[in-house]
Structure 1
Amino acid sequence: MVKVLQSGLYSTIQDLGRFGFQHLGVPCSGVMDQHSARMANLLLANDANCAVLELTGNGPKLEFTSNTNIVITGANMLPMINDNSVLNDSVINIKGNDILSFGKRVYGLRSYIAVKGGFKTKAVLGSRSMYSKITKESTIKRGDYLPIADCDVLLEPNLAKLKVPNIDYESKVINVFKGPEFDLLNISTIKKLLEKEFKISNSSNRMAYSLNESIENSLNSILTSVVIPGTVQLTPSGQLIILMRDCQVTGGYPRVLQLSEESINKLSQRSAGNSIKFRLKAQ
């Protein structure tokens, strides 16, 4: 078990997502940065879909009641075991009563904790991903006990390291493809869309990232149509909304761009106030 001593700003259990229920209006959910979560599980020789703990903004304080191995990836939040610094992207041996805590965030926004065998919280509709309208809890809370697999054999840290290709957390460039309604935009709007820098607003979350700056919108609303994580919608006011992992499954705003999977991972590590710039890629 892992006891939650402090929950952190916004910490949730996530796996790769909940699929096959979108026709019922159920979002995919899942880890915001799939690259970092997959790397954490890979380092532990876990299945890629093992549930991890996703931290946003700052980290929790956790007490382990038994031996296990963990890996921390993604944002660097200066992790510590019993107040001794440990590294991201490497296997860490944990003993019963060890306490994991975090310091000041150095870069990135979201960090991932994987444990050997994955977190064993209750699966709902085939996934352990927390989502407020589907699972009983939407975040972990102080006093929670998070079940984990038994782990009798600890990995050798020096034999379980991997050079992890990190996301470029500093680059403003977000690669995108044309959305279904892109070609309906006029030339002036397309130019602004692809040349302007946009700042991420304070209202951004796991459902969607909204951008502060607006552009001209001469398009009418569309019939309600399918949207997916990474869809960029253009609202009647000219504001752009980038749908993320907890997004709805349909929408009525023009879908002008679509983020690549790599770009969703990258954007999920950007904070409110950071600037981004779209770069159109050939499909």
Structure 2
Amino acid sequence: MNRELAKASVLKTGPGTSIQDLGRQGMANFGVPISGAMDQRALLWINHLLQNDENAAVLEISQPGFSIRFDTPTSIALAGALVDVKLNGVQIQNPAIIPIHLHGVLEIGAFKSGARLYLGIKHGFQSSVILGSRSFYQGLTSLSQLSKEDKIPYFVDSNPIHQHNAKAKWSSDWYRTETILAYPGPDFSLLDTESREKLIGEPYRISTFSNRMGLQLSELLENELPELPTNPVFPGMVQLTSGGKLVILLKDAQVTGGYPRVLYLDEKSQGIVAQKKPGEQLRFSLISSKAAKNDRDSIR
């Protein structure tokens, strides 16, 4: 069925705003990263509220000061970071499902907790599909991030959601923990006992050297690990360099790497890490296979 397209106009944005869905699957053998939403839990929540397909594309926003205008009535939803939100200049207290009227303007203010906000729309944003995904990735899609005056297509919603008896409310409690659950990585056994205890027992802070490819931790973990051949890597792998730097690979990470892979974070733990700001602290904790399965199941 053909639907009429409308446009949302970006009025203001900081760096890093992009369109993301669940990413590109099965492309690693061609050197193509998975990409997709850094906080998958937030994306799935939004699409559930809007009764979209779970892979419908959303906006990922990582800076305050974003604003957008919608050409036609529709319904949107927000999740991820807790932020100050205004619609047509009026503060919104519980920005779950938000009805948008003709030429409605949404403004995103201060981030009160979390590092990434997700904005979804009924039927999803309709950017170009490249290799099975709408997710932005530099060198693959025409844009790597959105800029002022960019226009994003979406389907006109002739019956926007105006009222719900139930008031769904997004909770940020799940990502406020400092504890990051992890599996031992393929090269964890190469660490000596002292290094393992430091890796698992000591706190680490998020450094400013972080982006969608990876997140670097400030504290060093001295080690004498050998040089390794290039091996497959994917989001969630924690690599340890010869200089002692710990790097958590994220959604736009390369698909191969030569640094030892000492830990692996599952999807829920990746989402927690994605919501951490520079300077915030975390601690790794090893988990059993049974506990990890329960955590994965809790995402959906």
Is this a same-fold pair by TM over 0.5? yes
The equivalent of 1:68 in structure 2 is 74
The equivalent of 1:218 in structure 2 is 224
Q: CA deviation digits over 1:177-199, x for unaligned, max 9?
A: 00001111110100111111111
The equivalent of 2:11 in structure 1 is 5
C-alpha separation in 1, matches of 2:171 and 2:89: 27
The equivalent of 2:139 in structure 1 is 133
Shift of 1:66: 0.3
C-alpha separation in 2, matches of 1:88 and 1:246: 31
Relative to structure 1, is the Cα distance of residues 262 and 167 closer, same or farther in structure 2, using a 3 angstrom cutoff? farther
C-alpha separation in 2, matches of 1:93 and 1:112: 16
Shift of 1:167: 4.7
What one-letter code is carried by the residue in structure 2 that aligns with 1:275?
A: Q
C-alpha separation in 2, matches of 1:264 and 1:88: 26
Relative to structure 1, is the Cα distance of residues 271 and 201 closer, same or farther in structure 2, using a 3 angstrom cutoff? same
C-alpha contact 2:82 2:172 (8 A) present in aligned 1: no
The equivalent of 2:213 in structure 1 is 207
Percent of aligned positions with the same letter in both sequences? 39
Secondary structure of 1:271 counterpart: coil
Secondary structure of 1:19 counterpart: coil
Secondary structure of 2:278 counterpart: coil
TM-score, scaled to structure 1: 0.96
C-alpha separation in 1, matches of 2:14 and 2:163: 27
C-alpha contact 1:72 1:88 (8 A) present in aligned 2: no
What one-letter code is carried by the residue in structure 1 that aligns with 2:266?
A: S
Shift of 1:96: 1.3
Secondary structure of 1:135 counterpart: coil
Q: CA deviation digits over 1:29-86, x for unaligned, max 9?
A: 0000000111011100000100000000324110111010000111112111011112
Q: CA deviation digits over 1:254-275, x for unaligned, max 9?
A: 1000001110001100011111
The equivalent of 1:172 in structure 2 is 178
Shift of 1:142: 0.7
C-alpha separation in 2, matches of 1:180 and 1:269: 26
**Structure 2: which 5+ runs fail to align?**
1-6, 290-300
Q: Does 1:185 align with 2:185?
A: no
Shift of 1:163: 4.8
What one-letter code is carried by the residue in structure 1 that aligns with 2:154?
A: I
Secondary structure of 2:79 counterpart: strand
The equivalent of 2:297 in structure 1 is none
Q: Does 1:100 align with 2:113?
A: no
Segments ≥4 residues shifted beyond 6 Å = none
Q: Does 1:15 align with 2:21?
A: yes
Relative to structure 1, is the Cα distance of residues 54 and 174 closer, same or farther in structure 2, using a 3 angstrom cutoff? same
Q: Which moved more, 1:5-14 or 1:207-216?
A: 5-14
Secondary structure of 1:158 counterpart: coil
The equivalent of 1:248 in structure 2 is 254
What one-letter code is carried by the residue in structure 2 that aligns with 1:100?
A: L
Task: Indicate which of 79, 98, 107 corresponds to 2:85.
Answer: 79
Aligned positions, number: 283
What one-letter code is carried by the residue in structure 2 that aligns with 1:111?
A: L
C-alpha contact 1:90 1:157 (8 A) present in aligned 2: no
C-alpha separation in 2, matches of 1:249 and 1:88: 39
Secondary structure of 1:157 counterpart: coil
Shift of 1:155: 1.5
The equivalent of 2:46 in structure 1 is 40
Secondary structure of 2:217 counterpart: strand
TM-score, scaled to structure 2: 0.91
Q: CA deviation digits over 1:126-151, x for unaligned, max 9?
A: 11000111101101111111000110
Q: Does 1:50 align with 2:36?
A: no
C-alpha contact 1:199 1:213 (8 A) present in aligned 2: yes
Q: CA deviation digits over 1:240-261, x for unaligned, max 9?
A: 0100000000110110000011
Q: CA deviation digits over 1:78-102, x for unaligned, max 9?
A: 1110111124552111011110001
Shift of 1:157: 3.1
Secondary structure of 1:241 counterpart: strand
C-alpha contact 2:188 2:261 (8 A) present in aligned 1: yes
